[in-house]
Structure 1
Amino acid sequence: MTVSIPTKWRSVLPHLDAPLPPDRTPARVTADKAVSVNLPMALVRQCTRNDEYWEIPLPVLDAYRSYRPTPLWRATRFETAVGAKVPIWVKYEGGNISGSHKLTTALAQAYYYRNAGARELVTGTGAGQWGTALAAACALFGLRCTVFMVGSSLSRKPYRGVLMNMLGAEVQASPSGTTRVSRSAQGQGNSLSLAIGEAVEYAAGRDGAAFCIGSGETYSILHQSVIGIEAGEQLQEQGGEVDAVVGCVGAGSNFGGVALPFHAEARSQGTNAPLLVAAESSSAPKLTQGIYAYDRTDSTDTSPLEAMYTIGSSYSIPDSHSAGLRFHGAAKLVSALRHSGHVAAMAIDQVVALEAGQRFATTELVVPAPESGHALAAAAQLATTGADDLQASHGVLVCVSGHGYLDLSAYQQLLDGELNDQSPDAQALLAAVSGLAPVSTTAAVAQ
């Protein structure tokens, strides 16, 4: 049997223990001041309806054929290097023009936005993988593209900007100083939240422009379900058995894409799902040290508040090479599953992540992105000594969400012994979440 490209996305919404908590409008934002994202109705339906399967539009499916299905293999040399007691299976998403899994939802979103009448898409990006993916998708579907990229990340990875420019996108380093939100930001320089806030403001002021995002939204996680669907079929074809699935988490599209189809399948069959482990950065530990509360997703103060595990949108996240993980909150879908006990989490230090990435490069001959290094480090722990009460007994599936060829400066610092970690400040974390309304209460929305 040869695994083919899935023709349908699979939603986990029908298999939740309870509906997702509704978004809230910030109390000080009047209806005429609330942000308007102009979301296509097709994407709205994918967030709100309980249909389990969604047909992939033919133009999107045709674009997928250039790089899907993506490879899956047993990383036997990596297993030996880390002393694994069980097999480690790798699903690799770095073999497309964006270098990551992000292209899978970018293509779908560009298609839907174009059909809804948009002429330009605007976004914020951390490590640049999402920005590159959206630039490529806009080029394919004939849309203009503007990207606000976290400035510190762009300075480390200037060729990300070159690639986006080559694909026709305009790239601005954030904070740009050209938007109200960047000029008024305090202590949030070089944050993904700020870059997203700039994109929201910029899109709102341009005719024919629409803001779109590639990670935390329920529809983007739906689009990424092809990762887990393919992986399940590939494991079956190769005789692989896993009882743990791992993905790195910035907001949640990579983890959701690889892990949630396994949850949906287990629920539909009435069986036990594998252990679903979200590997996050120890510098942005929303799932391991955050609270489940209503918080903003960007820095505009006008976007709806979402129910999420968060360390507070005002928390100043320490700089790191894993820019894609430097987000204060997790997707509301991932957060709900974490809250109901269906998702576990591990916080991984930057040095440990890049050491795992180097070990993977020398054994499997693939250079992973720093973000993916977090997932590899978590997988190695699960396959060896375990972490707390988390351990794999049969096998681990890990998603390597992207390549690290544009992140070699991070590996250079690792080789030179100049890489270090900055632990979260406990008092600052407490202060950043102190005014937020817990999801489990009916408290007023935090101001």
Structure 2
Amino acid sequence: MTVELPTSWRSTLPYLSEPLPPDLTPESASGGGVGVNLPMELVRQSVLEREYWQIPSEVLDAYRKFRPTPLWRATGFERAIGARVPVYMKYEGGNISGSHKLNTALAQAYYYKKAGVKELVTGTGAGQWGTAMAAACALFGLRCRVFMVESSLRRKPYRGVLMRMLGAEIHSSPSGLTAVCDRRADGIGNSLALAIGEAVEYAATHEGVAFCIGSGETYSILHQSVIGIESQAQLAELDAGVDMVVGAVGAGSNFGGIALPFHAEARATGSQPPTLVAAESSTAPKLTRGVYAYDKTDATGSGPLEAMYTIGSDYPIPDAHSAGLRFHGAAKIISAMRHTGDLAATAVTQQEALDAGRLLTRHEAVLPAPESGHALAAAAKLATAGADGMRAERGVLVCVSGHGYLDLAAYEQLLNDELGDEAPSETALLSAVSGLTPVSLGAGTPLLAGGPR
């Protein structure tokens, strides 16, 4: 293919059906907060309704090492699932982090470096974001510290080794190093919100250190728009059309990256957009069973409360290979578009996700991360019998957001028939969200996305 690397990111903020609900400030929501050293350019990218943002030359130079990424028609996968329509795959696993996360990590490291920050600290679930941040910090000369969910680090110790190879300091979360860790003994090493909370606290209490986040923020989703922009050009080069675009959702960065440029293009040209389908884990089903409410983004509760689809930041999410999808809420821009009906959602079990990953491995010779398996499983349903009232009629585009070479323990459990699934009960979900403030729910709107009216 002759598709060129995009030189600008594309924002969907000018094309939302409704403005994003404002955050609730720490003073009005929780009575206090921590300072986050967010570079002004990232603030602007989060709030200004500017459609195009030029990618800095230093970031472009780093992108050229692995972008554009490949897109192909997955004919082997199509035959394996009995697809009625073509299935196209956009593969983001061919870089040092093994995932799409490097797209925003490089941008953030650049902007934080310009702002004078010396060290970046973050929390990570599956380890892809931590690895991406470690690599970006190494390239831009910053120190890096990562709090990784204990259950993930235990299963994938070589993620920790890779981050250390890149110069990062790694802590298993709960780490015992922070006050939020002491207050959240119920985390039991399975909470991404806790790992993020530890990173937030550490950054707030150390000079020259800033917290950074890889998925839910509007600016990080903007940086991921290179995925969708490239995909549009690659599909055009193949003279191919799709009516479904699918990505897995933890908070929303890879889904937003591949899907939102299609939304922006359709709104800009007055055309009909494809159906944008967010595939989430059935163990953390915020978009399919959550409530649209103000909630915490991490376990400290010190930052602004954001409008999101959530199952409650204090909900004890079951241990599962949903890994990076194991987050209680969806990004504010993804949640807003779900609320206005501009995107759809479906939940996938880890058995379905890893089965889909095994099919891709056998028939396309690509080993996907378990997170990507959720998107593949959803795409397989849409391309065959359909799911949740949706079925593709022209074609499906799916983002394979990362490779699974460091997730082989999950696939070993699949091969040994040792997987299990634990979906939240309706009672547990109602309890977890009962104290949250809803976001302007209209008459007849269900409290829970999948619950009774």
Match of residue 192 from structure 1:
192
Give the superposition deviation at 1:186.
4.2
Match of 1:78 in 2: 77
Separation of aligned partners in 2, 1:15 and 1:317: 34
> Are 1:358 and 2:358 matched, yes or no?
yes
Taking the aligned partners of 2:90 and 2:29, their CA distance within structure 1 comes to 45
- Is 2:85 the counterpart of 1:89? no
Residue 126 of structure 1 and its aligned partner are, at CA, apart by: 0.1
When residues 81 and 278 of structure 1 are mapped into structure 2, their CA distance, relative to the original with a 3 A threshold, is: same
| CA–CA distance in structure 2, aligned partners of residues 199 and 428 of structure 1 | 28
**Partner in structure 2 of residue 152 of structure 1:** 151
Residue 304 of structure 2 is matched in structure 1 by 304
Aligned-pair distance for 1:17?
1.3
Say what the alpha-carbon RMSD is for the aligned residues. 1.0
Matches within 5 A, 1:138-287: 138-189=137-188, 190-287=190-287
**8 Å Cα contact 1:9/1:55 also seen in 2:** yes
Q: Measure how far apart 1:441 and its partner are.
A: 6.0
Deviations 1:127-176 (A, max 9, x none): 00000000000000000000000000000000000000000000000000
Aligned pairs (5 A) from 1:104-143: 104-143=103-142
Q: Using the alignment, how far apart are the partners of 2:233 and 2:342 within structure 1?
A: 22
**Structure 1 gaps, min length 5:** 443-447
- The normalised TM-score by structure 2 is 0.96
Residue type of the alignment partner of 2:80 = A
Between the aligned residues of both structures, percent identity stands at: 70
Paired residue for 2:292? 292
Secondary structure of the equivalent of 1:62?
helix
Please say if residues 188 and 314 of structure 1, whose CA atoms lie closer than 8 Å, have aligned partners that are also in contact.
no
Point out the more displaced range, 384-393 or 433-442: 433-442
My pick for the range that moved more, 199-208 or 184-193, is: 184-193
Shift of 1:50: 0.5
Residue in 2 aligned with 1:37? 36
Name the aligned partner's letter for residue 263 of structure 2: H
**2: CA distance, partners of 1:259 / 1:308:** 18
**Structure 1 partner of 2:417:** 417
For structure 2, which runs of at least 5 residues remain unmatched after alignment?
A: 443-453
For residues 29 and 377 of structure 2, the distance between their equivalents in structure 1, rounded to whole angstroms, comes to 43
Cα distance in 2, alignment partners of residues 213 and 325 from structure 1: 14
Q: Is residue 368 of structure 2 the alignment partner of residue 368 of structure 1?
A: yes
Question: Moved runs in structure 1, 4+ residues, more than 4 A?
Answer: none
Match for 1:68: what amino acid? R
Deviations 1:65-109 (A, max 9, x none): 000000000000100000000000000000000000000000000
Q: Is the 8 A contact 2:23 2:304 kept in 1?
A: yes
Aligned to 1:332: 332
Once the two structures are TM-superposed, the CA of residue 29 in structure 1 deviates from its matched residue by: 3.6
Task: Tell me the number of residue pairs that the alignment of Structure 1 and Structure 2 aligns.
Answer: 440
Output the CA distance in 1 between the equivalents of 2:204 and 2:413: 39
Deviation at 1:28, TM superposition (A): 6.0
**Deviation, structure 1 residue 25:** 2.4
Aligned AA (1:321): H
Q: CA contact under 8 A between 2:8 and 2:52: conserved in structure 1?
A: yes
Aligned residue for 1:435?
435
Amino acid at match of 1:218: T
Query: Distance in 2 between the 1:94 and 1:183 partners?
Result: 36
Q: Which moved more, 1:383-392 or 1:64-73?
A: 383-392
Question: Aligned letter for 1:401?
Answer: S
**How big is each residue's C-alpha offset from its partner over 1:371-410, in whole Å with a ceiling of 9 and x where there is no partner?**
0000000000000000121111000000000000000000
Structure 1 partner of 2:426? 426
Match of 1:445 in 2: none
Change (3 A) 1:438 1:29: closer
CA deviation digits over 1:37-86, x for unaligned, max 9? 11000000000101100000000000000000000000001000000000
Q: Is the 8 A contact 2:308 2:331 kept in 1?
A: yes
Contact 1:97–1:133 (CA under 8 A) maintained in structure 2: yes
Contact 1:222 1:257 in 2 (8 A): yes
Residue 357 of structure 2: SS of its match in structure 1? helix
* Matched letter for residue 337 of structure 2: L
Deviations 1:188-224 (A, max 9, x none): 2320000000000000111100000000000000000
